[in-house]
Structure 1
Amino acid sequence: MNSKEKPGLGELLRYVGELVEQGAEEHYQTMSLNYRARYTPVLRALHAGAQTVTDITARTHLTQGAISQTVTLLESDGLITRHVVNDGRKSGIQLTSSGRDLVAKLEVHWATTFAAIARLEEEIGYPLRQALEDAAHALEGQGFSARITAVKSELTTGGQVNVE
C-alpha cells in the first residue's frame, strides 16, 4: 500500500477520536444521561480544581474557543455558573448542585473508562496515551508545518524520503 492509499495521520486521529466518542455516547445513553461527551474534559478539569477557562484550557490542551463554547453549553444546561473573580478580568466557573450531582455519577464511569483504555493499550501492545503525549510534545517543539517544510527541502536538495 503506497502513501496515496494509506490514511493520513489526521484522518486516523479523527477516526479513532470518533470511535472513542461514539462509544462514550453509547455508554452515556445506557446510563440514562442526557450528556454530551464534549462536557467531559471541562467537568473533569473543574472537578480537579480548575476555576477559569484559562485553567481548563491548560489542563485539557483544548483550544480556548472550544472550551468557551462548551462552557456556554454547560451553563445553558444548568451544570455550571459563572462569577467575577477578584481581578475582574476573568470569569470564574463553578459547578452548580446539578453539576456536582452529575460529576458524582460520572466519577465511577471515568474510572471505568480509564480501566478500559488500559485494556485497549494491553490489547494493542503499547501505551497509546503515552505515544500521543509524546507526539504532542514533539509537535510542540517543532510544528507539523515546519516538519513538512523540512522534508520538502530535503527532497529538493536530492535527499530521499521514505513514505512507506
Structure 2
Amino acid sequence: MSMKIEPGLGELLRYVSELVEYGAEEHYSQMQINYRARYTPVLRALRSGAQTVTEITACTHLTQGAISQTLGHMEADGIITRQRGDDGRKTFICLTAHGEALLLKLDQHWAGTFATIEQLEHEVGYPLRQVLQDTARLLEQRGFSQRLNDQKLAMTAEVAVDE
C-alpha cells in the first residue's frame, strides 16, 4: 500500500537543511579543503569577536552542547585550540594558524554562499531567511508545545459547542 502523506514542518526543515549541507560539503570537497559545514557558525562567530563557548552560543542559533561538540571536532581537525583564562574560570577559543588560513579561504566561499542564497530567494519569490527568522521569533515568544496545547483546547471547545 502506497500512501502519500503531507510532510510536516520539521521534516521539510530537516530536508532543506540536508540539501544545503550536502551541497556545501560537496563544494568544500571541490575546494580541496577538509571542512565540515557545521563549523561555519562557530568560525563566523569567532571572526566577529566571540572568544568563549558562551559568546559563540550568543552569536549563533545553536545550543551550548552543539557548540561544545563542534569545537571538539574543530580541535581534533587542528582548526582551534582552547586556552584557560588567567583566572582559570573561562576557556578561550583561539584559531590555529591552520584555522586562520582556512578562514581566509572560506571568506570568498561565504560571499558566494550568500549571493547564492539571495538568488534562491529570488527564484522562490520571497525571502526565506526572513520567513525563518520571523518564525523563530514567534516560536521563541510562544513555543510550539504551547501552540499545540492551544490548538487542542480550541478543538475541544469546538467539539463541545457542536454537541
Normalized against structure 1, the TM-score is what? Answer: 0.92
Partner of 2:104: 104
Q: Structure 2, unaligned stretches of length 5 or more?
A: none
Q: Is 1:25 aligned with 2:25?
A: yes
Partner of 1:52: 52
Cα offsets for 1:116-153 (capped at 9, x unmatched):
00000000000000000000000000000000000000
Partner of 2:95: 95
Q: Is 1:133 aligned with 2:133?
A: yes
Between the aligned partners of 1:150 and 1:5, the Cα distance in structure 2 is: 24
Moved over 3 A (4+): none
Between the aligned partners of 1:86 and 1:116, the Cα distance in structure 2 is: 43
Query: Residue 86 of structure 1: CA displacement?
Result: 4.2
Query: Residue 88 of structure 1: CA displacement?
Result: 2.5
Q: Is 1:16 aligned with 2:16?
A: yes
Q: Structure 1, unaligned stretches of length 5 or more?
A: 160-164
Partner of 1:81: 81
Over the aligned positions, Cα root-mean-square deviation in angstroms equals 1.1
Share of identical aligned residues, percent?
63
SS in 2 for 1:93: strand
User: Quick check: 60-69 or 88-97, which moved more?
Assistant: 88-97
Between the aligned partners of 1:157 and 1:85, the Cα distance in structure 2 is: 57
Cα offsets for 1:84-103 (capped at 9, x unmatched):
12442221101011100000
Partner of 2:41: 41
Between the aligned partners of 1:103 and 1:78, the Cα distance in structure 2 is: 13
In structure 2, give the amino acid aligned to 1:150: D
Between the aligned partners of 1:87 and 1:121, the Cα distance in structure 2 is: 47
Q: Is 1:65 aligned with 2:87?
A: no
Partner of 2:121: 121
Between the aligned partners of 2:96 and 2:5, the Cα distance in structure 1 is: 49
The alignment covers a number of residue pairs equal to 156
Q: Is 1:152 aligned with 2:152?
A: yes
